[in-house]
Structures are given as C-alpha cells and as structure tokens.
Amino acid sequence: MLMPDGAMQDFALTLDRILDHAARWHPDTEVVTATPGESQRIGYAQLNARARRVSAVLAERGVAQGSRVATLAWNTQAHVESWYAIMGMGAVCHTLNPRLTADQLAWMAGQSRAGVLIASADLAGLASDISARTPTLRHVLIIDGAAEIGEALEPLLVRSNGEEVVWGQFDETLPCGLCFTSGTTGAPKGVTYTHRGNFLHTLRQLQADVAGITSRDVVLPVVPMFHANAWGLPFAAPATGAKLVLPGRHTDGASLARLIAAEGVTIAVGVPTVWLGLIDHLDAVGGEVPSLQRIMVGGAPMPPALMERLEARGIEVQTTWGMTELSPLGTATPPGAMPRDPAQSGRPAIGMDLLLTDHKGTPLPEQRGAEGHLWVRGPSVVERYFGKAELATRDGWFETGDLATIDDEGNLRITGRAKDLIKSGGEWINPAEIEALVGALPEVSLAAVIGRPDAKWGERPILLVELRDDASPSDEALCAPLHGKVASWWIPDAVVRLDKMPLAATGKIDKLRLRNQYSRP
C-alpha cells in the first residue's frame, strides 16, 4: 500500500497578512506622516486596528469582495489605512492621480465603476468634480483633515461600533489594486494587481541585492501611493518591520530635508526630479541629511551630474528600472555595488525574467552585448490590461516598449523607448543617448530630445534643456559632449532653453507635452 505524500499548508499569499505580521511582531514600530506642526505617529498594531474599522465603514456603504474603491490622496497614514482596509476585505483599491484633470480621473473611475471614493480633504473640490462626472460613485469619504462637507461629501470616521469585517480567507489570485499607466507616451491603460503578485513582488523587493530593507531601516517613499503602488513600499516596510515615513503632500526639497533629518530616514525612494530638488535645497542652505544612507531612484534616467552631487555628500544612489505593468520593480543595482553607473539599471531578482528581441519579436541569438527590444515575464507582470479581452503578452512575454542591452554580468541598461526613436533620412536616432551625454554637463538639470518634422529628412532632433541657476552655456557648449560620441547627423538642429521642464504627473519628463509644444517645424 502506497503511503500518502506529505503536504504543506495552504497559506494564501494575501496582503492582509503583511499588516497582520507587522502588528504582531513590530507593534510599536512607527508610521509617521508629515503634517503642519507636529508629525502624526502611530504604531503598526494601532494602524492595523484602525484599518479594520475602515473596512467596517466601507462595508456599511455597500463595499464587498470584488468592489472597486477609488482613492485620491497623498502618502499619509490614512491612505495606508484605506489601502489595507480595501484590500484586506477583498475589494480593489483603484488609486487616482490628483495631478490629472477631473475629466481624466472621472473617465478612469467610470472605467473601474468605483462606487466609493476616498479623498484627502485638500482634494475635496477635485473629488466633488469627479463625483459629478461619474454616475457610479455613490459615496465620497474625506480623510486627512476637515473639508467643507456638502451633500456629496462625508468624513470617513473610523468608528468601533461597525460590525467587524473578516480579512483574507479568499483566493490569492483575487484582484487587489488597479492603477492606470502614466500616459507619458500614449493613452493610459489600466493594470490590475493581484494579492499573489504583490506579495511575491514584496518578497523579491526585500532581497539583499534589491531594496534590502531591514527592521533597522527608516524608509521614506516619496514616490506617490497613487502611482504603481508607491513601488510596493507600503507593503515592504511593514513586511520587515521598518519604520515608514510618509511625506504627505509636500515633497519639495526643503520639506524633504526637514523630514529626513527629523525622522532619521536611512532609505528614500523616488524619481530623479525629487532628488534634484533636495540637493539644490541642501546646496543653497548648506544643509545636511546625515542619516540618509541610500536613495533608490527609477522612473526616469538618472542624470550623471545629479548622481555625482548626491554621492559627494555620502549618499549612495541605487538605480532601478520598472514599469506600472511590473508592479513595478523590474531590476535594481545591488546596494554597495561599485562602480555605480547612472545609466545601468542592475539585474533582475528571482521571479523576473528578461528577453531581448529584434523589432519583429524574434529573440536575439546573443542576449549579451546586443541592443534589442525588451520583453519580461514573471508572477507580478501584467497579462491582460483592465477591460481588455486580448492578452497583453505573446508566448507568455510582455513587451515593455523599451530598447535595452544586457552586459556580460547580466546588468540591464535601458537605451531608449522604441516610441521615442527619431527617424531621420531613413536612419534611427536614439534620444536617450543624446540626453545622457548632455545631462552629464554640470550646468544642465534636465535634458530631453524630441523629433521635429523636416521636409527633407522626415524628422530632425531638437534639444530642450532646463539649466541650473545662473548657468548660461552656448548651444555649442551644450552639444559639445556629443561630438565623437554619436554620429554627426544625430546632433540636434536646435536647442531650446526652458525655465521649467514639463513633468508628467509621476515626475517624469512629459514628452507628450514637449512634442505638442515644440515639434512643429
């Protein structure tokens, strides 16, 4: 008679378990929110209890497993509570970006058919506008302060008299989140996250060669919770018991410098423009942030000059690459890796695989040392966009739209976006290469290259720059780094100086706006 095989417990990878873990094993570790005056503080155990009471408030308003609840808020304690309240009860948290217009956000909320919107008090006017344009929205609940409460708005009161809602006890493949892509290069698409995907993403993120967060760290996610899950940090910090510091609405250099110094932040995460504001402020006032050991940067190429300024202050810069469709982390340079190259994005951790192909999608015979179109696969990679019947993958691989190389050690280098390539005289020009060379100049804060229609060549590149204060290099000086490094016909035909580079809602350079404004001949 055959003996039965052994078995492991059926332990669903649902996100409620992350906050429950933090509440049990790190109950007093703080979650801090920057507010005017004294910062708001709470321990993981108390935050867990409050989040469960928010679930009861939502249940009273008809939210159930599978319901979609929209949020319109900054990185705050109340927003974190709302996240876990929504996801813990099996509903779907649809984050809305408050830097978009009411029409854009109403379209997204209408797509998801959200019945409840949770909004920051200082965004109550925008929330009302969204509600008026979205027939499915029945309730708008206000967090993070008092607002002028009208017929369409009500405060989210965390009460204890509501019937407790059971968390978890559902399939780990259930959707937990919805985020629309930034739309910097095309129309926004909805990406649905699952509990299993985000749980595995968290475990991958916590590896020593990725974020390497420990219970001794103080983590500051400047990347917003309304974009790609704040890169997963509201899950990663409680998963390891790290102190979580939330900046609220104000992420200018002065506000961040004060917060980092006051709370002893060791790891901070955000796009390059955020760190440009921080370092400019520190240079201007002679300030220091001695606790800050490491900055994780992604979302856009890291300007070499900015990296040098940060590292000159003893702050390690860890470059990464990812996308909303990847939940979002794809690759990362290991902490402490030397030498650090701002153009390098590191290696993938277990659970993420990379493939380079030609323009037709045929895998390159040699994956190392050749440039190709980048495809990815893994348990936290999108398979189908929200509301779409067709797959977003081919043979199990998702096409990122990026051009890339992989070196002999497996390090990824993004060399450009396929959609950004400029075709001039039948040949391709890669803006990213020009931007990296010009962006290395100490006088340049930000650089962008776009194509402009040309009667003879089809398209020609133009260079747009935001200069550092008091810098006034000539056109020739700005283009000088290109000579001998790129083909002569890649040299931009014109240079445009901008007082402020336009940024998309996620902090990346908004090339759509640049093309609309400057691509006319």
Which candidate in 325, 331, 435, 508 is catalytic? 325
Spell out the alpha helix ranges (H) of 61-145: 77-88, 102-112, 124-133
CA distances from 263 to 47, 254, 328 (A): 19, 14, 27
Q: Per the residue annotation, which of 60, 366, 388, 423 is the catalytic one? A: 423
Contact residues for 5 (Cβ-Cβ < 8 A; gap 6+): none
Query: In 3-state terms, what secondary structure has residue 220?
Result: strand
243 is catalytic: no
Q: Are 184 and 514 in contact (CB under 8 A)?
A: no
Task: Report the distance separating Cα 283 and Cα 329, nearest Å.
Answer: 31
**Alpha carbons 433 and 373: distance in angstroms, whole number:** 16
Q: State the catalytic residue, choosing from 14, 134, 181, 251.
A: 181
Burial class of 164 by CB neighbour count within 10 A (0 to 12, 13 to 18, 19+):
exposed
User: Looking at residue 75, what DSSP letter applies?
Assistant: B
Q: Taking the C-alpha atoms of 391, 135, 185 and 514 in order, what is their torsion angle to the nearest 10 degrees?
A: 170
| Cβ 234 vs Cβ 204: under 8 Å | no
Using alpha carbons only, what angle is made at residue 461 by residues 456 and 465, rounded to the nearest 5 degrees?
A: 150
- Whole-angstrom distance, CA of residue 474 vs CA of residue 459: 24
Cβ(63)–Cβ(205) under 8 Å? Answer: no
Q: Which of 148, 164, 308, 428 is catalytic?
A: 428
325 labelled catalytic: yes
Structure tokens, 311: 């590292």
The answer to whether residue 459 is catalytic is no
Q: Is 338:361 a contact under the CB 8 Å cutoff? A: no
148 among known catalytic residues: no
Length of the chain, please?
521
- Please report where in the chains the tokens 């926004």 appear, as a residue: 188
Query: How many of the other CB atoms lie within 10 Å of CB of 10?
Result: 6
Cα atoms in the Cβ-side hemisphere of radius 13 Å centred on 390:
3
Give one word for 69, left, alpha or beta, with left for phi > 0 and alpha for psi -120 to 50: beta
Residues identified as active-site? 181, 325, 423, 428
